[in-house]
Amino acid sequence: MRWEDLDREHCSLARTLSVIGDRWTLMVLRECFLGMHRFEEFEARLGIARHVLADRLKKLAEAGVLAKHLYQERPRREEYRLTETGLDLYPVILGLVQWGDKHMAGTEGAPLLRVHKTCGKVMDGVVVCSECGEPVRARDVRVEAGPGAGEETLPRPARAS
């Protein structure tokens, strides 16, 4: 499997990685979720090369993750806002952040806390079953072939214990 061919794989993870699977793209998304919208803001916060940033923003816009909005006519300036498709990435970003808070933050603890606006409490995101509402962990899930599966993505048979 070649990196540039991920978007053609019969695997939702591979296709997702073809859009958001590099460090600069994930850092741009982090900034979007923290309220950044403008090229200069991304550039200053991330210390990213202009051409790399322009490439990542273009790719995210082409994938429908970000939408450009004009905020100034002369000179023409646009900002980047998360679309509904982009907002759907929040659980992914939250999961990565929580993993980092648990395994990479060090003794000082998490650098940022997430407060649920509804109840006002510091929270952790939890994956729950859409059908029964129970929390879900990796060992609680069995994978089966779906309608878009290809031969190379079919689950392997379970090993006998």
SS3 state at 93: helix
Residue 71 pLDDT: 93
Pick the CATH number of 3-148 from 1.10.3720.10, 1.10.10.10, 3.40.50.300, 3.40.50.170: 1.10.10.10
Burial class (CB in 10 A: 0-12, 13-18, 19+), 25: buried
Q: Is the model's pLDDT at 49 over the cut of 90?
A: yes
Question: What mean pLDDT comes out for the span 62-77?
Answer: 95
